[in-house]
Amino acid sequence: MRASGRALAVLIAAVMAACGEGQTVVADWTGTTETDGGAPPCATSIGAIATGDHHTCAATADGVLSCWGRNVYGQLADGTTTSRTSPSSVAAPSGVVDLAAGNEHTCALGSDQRAWCWGDGSFGQLGNASTTGSLVPIAIAASTWSLLASYYNTTCGVGTDGVARCWGANFAGQLGAGDTSDRTSPTIVGPSSSDWTAISTGLGHTCGLRGSALYCWGDNAHGQLGLGSTTSMLSPAHVSDGWSRVDAGHSHTCAIDTSGALCCWGDNAAGQLGTGDGLEHTSRASVSASGWIDVMTSHLHSCGIRSDGSIECWGTGVGAAVAEGAIAPTPTHVDVPGRFVRIDSTDDHTCALRDDGALFCWGDNGQGELGLGDRNTRLLPVLVCVP
């Protein structure tokens, strides 16, 4: 992750067979959301979101950046280490079109295709050729970029030249550089190729798309690379073809194929694969045969968006809209109205963007990461207004 940060995907016209029939269990939670279900009552429309470890950032449709939550390492980009429970706008960079957040750092992509990172830099995850952190955004000098992804202390991106590069923590070979040495500057994922269209970082593994061909590398202790084994890989390994979207989580991976079928593999101790069997899978396991447009993975849960714009989550934890200690072993409907187009999550909370620009968040709020002006946990999505 998600994580989310987000790995953009290009939909491929070629169609492959679905992963197999899966069953989706839908069950609403009782409660209400703070929304009228129509046009967003907030003054601003959101265009991009990213969830980090106890912090969140969002960019308005016109590119103004705001962040909130934990700020011990300056991950809110406001030049301080003061945590905030409400969204606070940031002067620079301007023209933000996409965001990615790791454990204690954040990165942004500008409309000029320049990338910026800030926060903790202990592993080189800011890409500034050092392990020094920054309380304000600093530009990544290596390239112009088309997309960024981050999770924990690793950052990756795809340049406008189609080349995938990664930097930061590399304890399991997740940078795809053929070794386990950390990098403080963007390093080409090898062997070099100029046809990468998506990339997503997990805790110790990374996955990406070259067209519709899926590649994964790094830690494979739970089979999260999808190769049918638990052998880790220091360089990209071809998984299979026919995919449109992939997201790497803590120790599992989910992907959507070109027919809209959802499959997941890897660790399943908390039901985060959505297969309903609680079993670890080292190769793709069917979750649902059709109708998915987006998916994100975190530590103990995953969430996705259906073709009708509805949200479903599975696994455990308040970020999955599941009460503490409970498990949703298969995709379960999250009760929030409207059509959603983007979702992002970290270990403790989840945020989703509706097609009218309204932002909703839920989960743990101990550091103010939901942006609601308090520190109270929410099990159901709540509207977040950003200045």
pLDDT value of position 41: 77
Residue 210 · residue 197 · CB < 8 Å? yes
pLDDT value of position 131: 98
**Domain limits at 321?**
46-384
CA distance 266 to 315: 13
Segment 207-225 shows an average pLDDT of 98
pLDDT value of position 1: 56
378 within a domain of the structure (yes/no): yes
pTM value?
Answer: 0.90
The rounded mean pLDDT for the chain is 89
Q: 319 or 270, which is more confident? A: 270
pLDDT value of position 324: 73
CATH number of the structural domain spanning residue 169: 2.130.10.30
CA distance 176 to 200: 12
Domain count across the chain: 1
Residue 167 · residue 155 · CB < 8 Å? yes
**What DSSP character marks residue 63?**
-
Assign 318 to helix, strand or coil: helix
Q: In what order do the strands lie in the sheet with 378-384?
A: 340-345, 349-354, 359-363, 378-384
CA distance 98 to 148: 8
For 130-156, how does the pLDDT look when each residue is reduced to its tens digit (9 = 90+)? 999 999 999 997 679 999 999 999 999
Segment 204-208 shows an average pLDDT of 98
319 within a domain of the structure (yes/no): yes
Write the CB contacts of 226 (distance below 8 Å, at least 6 apart in sequence).
214, 216, 239, 240, 253, 265, 266, 282, 283, 284
Distances (CA, A) of 9 to 32, 243, 255, 325: 33, 9, 11, 34
pLDDT score of 11 more than 70:
no
Q: In what order do the strands lie in the sheet with 105-110?
A: 96-101, 105-110, 115-119, 134-140
9 within a domain of the structure (yes/no): no
Least confident of 40-44, 102-106, 123-127: 40-44
CA distance 41 to 24: 32
Residue 241 · residue 17 · CB < 8 Å? no
Nearest to 45 by CA among 366, 357, 333, 341: 357
CA distance 294 to 156: 19
pLDDT score of 227 more than 70:
yes
For 17-36, how does the pLDDT look when each residue is reduced to its tens digit (9 = 90+)? 334 333 332 322 223 344 44
H helix count then E strand count, the chain: 0, 28
Of all residues in the chain, the percent with pLDDT exceeding 90 is 82
**What DSSP character marks residue 320?**
G
Residue 331 · residue 287 · CB < 8 Å? yes
230 within a domain of the structure (yes/no): yes
Distances (CA, A) of 300 to 69, 137, 211, 271, 292: 21, 30, 29, 7, 20
Residue 41 · residue 384 · CB < 8 Å? no
pLDDT score of 85 more than 60:
yes
Q: Buried b vs exposed e over 263-291: b needs ≥16 C-beta within 10 Å?
A: bbbbbbbbbbbbbbeeebbbebbbbbbeb
15 within a domain of the structure (yes/no): no
Segment 264-278 shows an average pLDDT of 97
Residue 247 · residue 299 · CB < 8 Å? no
CA distance 143 to 92: 19
pLDDT score of 91 more than 90:
no
